[in-house]
Structure 1
Amino acid sequence: MKKKNYFLKTLMVAAAVTISGAAMSQVEIGIRAGANFSNATIKDADNNKVDTKLNPGFHAGVTFDIPVADEFYVQPGALFSTKGFKTDNSYFGGNANTNSKVSASYIEVPVNFLYKPELGSGKLLLGAGPYVAYGIGGKWDSKVSSGNNSISTDGKLEFKNDTKDASGGDKQIYGKPFDAGANLLVGYEFANKLSFQLNGQLGLLNIVPKVNGDKPDAKMKNTGFGISVGYKF
């Protein structure tokens, strides 16, 4: 009886390893990189919308296409992505003639659900899904103009959950480090595994930090779109 049970357990383990190996052998590992055109939706404490403009950046990382059904895939990934915005308003306080550019760096983990039907010699790419991201730093610069005179300043960005932890000096707080939202994508994968896609992203969390422990009245959410080039191995 013991020998029989041992044999059955060994057979089950071998079957599980075989199935797992077969599933993993179908996973397509890829690299993806491209341009971001990021912005932020900002409202001040009086619920007035701050005028912001697109700030170009980039993203790069790896993806994993895991088949779940015929032409359907789950695609987790890990990306380094820059976000941010430009504004003619004085987002950091000060003079109304301040032009600022803010570039925030994130480690981002998207999990997209893909539909990849055959189209021509390649495949159409249609996808959507959530993402989570964690801010790790960045930079800002601003130019204050008054008449014929101007002063340029710059510094580093940091992420804080509460402004009471701010470092001060040339460092400015971008927002809370944790962000999450939704992705949309459409593209095409050629027969040689090279692909192009358009990406859209909408942040769903208010990332304005607390003010000395109190809930903030202002709101800020990341938004943006981009274009990517990818390759599957």
Structure 2
Amino acid sequence: MKKVLLIVAAMLLANAVSAQNHEKNILGVRAGLNLSSYSISESGGSISTDSRASFHVAVSDQILLCNKLPFYLETGLAFSSRGGKIAGISFRPSYLQIPVLVNYHFNIKDIVTIQPFAGLYYGFGIGGKMKAGDEKGDIFGDEGIFKRSDLGVRLGAGVVWNRIYFGLGYDIGCLNLAKDVLTNGGDGTMRNNCFSISVGYNF
């Protein structure tokens, strides 16, 4: 354990020494794969839906928070397609998302930068359909069964090589998406989960 702490301390010190060379603002573009599902909980227990493969595209902005250490505030705007499948019903909502994350840049010999991140995201549903057999309906709106707002925790890490970005992330939804009509007025909840793989470029 002491060796691990010493290694981490050495990496932090090395990054602190070179922090003056870090960019103060980093703009980037991202795109990639989503594997999303829902966690459904009721008084009788909880289940997860089957996953749905979809996509996301985003622009990001990283702002240096500290001159002595390469901590960054990361935000931006993303279009993200989500959903899941259960009992022959598929859900295909689309969201505009704004993340508020903190990341740290571990610079490895000025070749590769590893960027673990954690924070929150807010999503606003802008459209989408649910489908059961040949029947289709809107997910959001007056006739829809989902609330538009989604809020959750985002964890993950990215790797940057020669300004090319590769990232893995996981979103854990915190808000109940379901309107009462979906839970028959009961205490059931439905929350977003999403694993994402991203590629991109930092300008």
Question: What TM-score do the two structures reach when normalised by structure 1?
Answer: 0.70
Query: How far apart are 1:50 and its partner, in Å?
Result: 4.1
Instruction: State the match for 2:147 in structure 1.
Output: 176
Q: Which residue of 1 aligns with 2:120?
A: 130
Q: 1:104 aligns with which of 66, 82, 93?
A: 93
Aligned partner of 2:199 in structure 1 is 229
Q: Radius of gyration: which is bigger?
A: 1
Q: 2-side partners of 1:63 and 1:154: how far apart?
A: 37
Which runs of 4 or more aligned residues in structure 1 lie more than 6 Å from their structure 2 counterparts after TM superposition? none
Give ranges in structure 2 of 5+ residues lacking alignment.
Answer: 1-22
Q: 1:218 offset after TM fit, Å?
A: 1.5
C-alpha contact 1:55 1:84 (8 A) present in aligned 2: yes
Whole-Å Cα distance in 1 between the matches of residues 192 and 163 of structure 2? 31
8 Å Cα contact 1:208-1:216 kept in structure 2: no
**8 A contact 1:209–1:216 mirrored in 2:** no
Q: 1:57-206 counterparts in 2 under 5 A? A: 57-69=54-66, 70-87=69-86, 89=87, 99-120=88-109, 121-142=111-132, 152-160=133-141, 165-166=142-143, 172-173=144-145, 175-190=146-161, 192-206=162-176
Distance 2:137 2:103 in 1: 37
Pairwise CA distance, 1:159: 1.8
Q: TM-score, normalised by structure 2?
A: 0.80
Residue 216 (structure 1) shift: 4.4
Per-residue deviation, residues 93-138 of structure 1 (Å, max 9, x unmatched): xxxxxx2221110000011101111024120010000011101111
Mapped to 2, the partners of 1:86 and 1:210 lie a distance apart of 19
Aligned residue-pair number: 177
- Aligned counterparts of 1:83 and 1:35: Cα–Cα separation in 2: 10
| Percent identity (aligned) | 32
